[in-house]
Amino acid sequence: MTDAKQSPKQPKQLTDRLFATERKPEDFRFDASVARVFPDMIRRSVPGYTTVIPMIEVITEQYVQPGTNCYDLGCSLGAATLAMRHGIHHDDCQLIGVDNSGAMIERCRHYVALDDHPLPVTLRCEDILDTELSDASVTTLNYTLQFVPPEKRESLLRRIADATRPGGALILSEKVRFESEQEQEIQTRLHHEFKRANGYSDLEISQKRAAIEQVLIPETLDTHKQRLLTAGFSEVFLWYQCFNFVSILAIKPK
Ligand SMILES: C[S@@+](CC[C@H](N)C(=O)[O-])C[C@H]1O[C@@H](n2cnc3c(N)ncnc32)[C@H](O)[C@@H]1O
Ligand SMILES: O=C(O)C(=O)C[C@]1(C(=O)O)C=C[C@@H](O)C=C1
């Protein structure tokens, strides 16, 4: 599994204080200020993130096929990309990370270079809605689809399914919402408590919530599962959940 130890060459891990002081309301963007603190931000904001990343290595190892492409769509700084890299034991595979944030891709190159592994990684600064996909065995969307406008999600998933070889897989991690108002309220409260336990203040939690409201659109688990089946995957199931964050495995029929 990926070694979580920090080598002295690693970039300095900065603490996320972006929402700690009052700021004017603005939609959240993956810009340079976010990229700088992103490892800290995502670990302290997404329940289960630190479990999901090493499991992506385990799942990749199970579904990767020789001579195929593996994609990490919305790769940010490459945490899932590197987990996939360590799960690929074929030297004829291509590993491709895609993100449309220049600040993320620039820093991602640095993390990829620091990861001592022989499999090359190609990074594309592109929109995942336009990026070319073919001959895939494993594709990861780790907390990325939630930022794609809902009306564009089905065609993207169809393109991924069409590009995936029989027996290949998609790992889809998302923030979800719940049908039941009561469950929605409890799970949201638990998520906010998780953030509080990780040192975020009420101001940080509420300002972040307002900033992502229009850009991160969660859907129900059922909507995700049905759409994955419609898109062309056959086995679709939940493999991980922590509060309102889930990860789904979708497999292409053999
Ligand atoms: C929450 S982060 C993903 C975290 C990352 N997958 C990980 O495991 O650490 C979402 C990423 O998706 C990227 N993104 C969002 N919409 C995108 C799009 N349409 N095309 C490419 N990248 C996109 C953002 O720039 C951001 O880096
Ligand atoms: O839902 C929240 O409150 C979050 O902060 C989630 C989330 C995410 O899932 O991507 C939002 C933006 C950042 O990328 C880090 C975490």
> What are the boundaries of each domain within the chain?
32-178+213-251
Q: Classify each residue of 89-123 as buried b or exposed e, where b means 16 or more C-beta atoms within 10 Å of its C-beta.
A: eeeebbbbbbbbbebbbebbbebbeebeeebebeb
Given a cut of 50, the residues of the chain with pLDDT beneath it are 2-6, 8
What residues contact residue 224 under an 8 Å CB cut-off, 6+ apart? 172, 174, 176, 246, 248
Q: What is the pLDDT of residue 3?
A: 46
Q: What is the CATH number of domain 32-178+213-251?
A: 3.40.50.150
Q: What is the pLDDT of residue 78?
A: 98
- Note the pLDDT tens digit of each residue in 111-157: 999 999 999 999 999 999 999 999 999 999 999 999 999 999 999 99
Q: Which residues line ligand 1 (CB under 6 A)?
A: 30, 42, 74-76, 79-80, 98-101, 104, 127-129, 142-144, 147-148
Q: What is the pLDDT of residue 25?
A: 86
Q: Which ligand has the shortest distance to the CA of 200?
A: 2
The response to whether 74 counts as a known ligand-binding position is: yes
Q: What is the pLDDT of residue 9?
A: 61
Classify the phi-psi angles of 11: left when phi > 0, otherwise alpha if psi is within -120 to 50, otherwise beta. Answer: beta
Q: Classify each residue of 26-61 as buried b or exposed e, where b means 16 or more C-beta atoms within 10 Å of its C-beta.
A: eebebeeebbbbbbbbbebbbbbbeebbebbbebbe
**What is the 156 CA–ligand 1 centroid distance (Å)?**
14
The response to whether 63 counts as a known ligand-binding position is: no
Neighbours of 137 (CB within 10 A): 24
Q: Report DSSP state, residue 146.
A: G
ipTM of the complex: 0.98
The rounded Cα 217 to chain-centroid distance in angstroms is 14
Q: What residues are paired with 142 via a beta bridge? A: 173
The dihedral of CA 1, 33, 101, 157: what is its sign? positive
Q: What is the pLDDT of residue 49?
A: 98
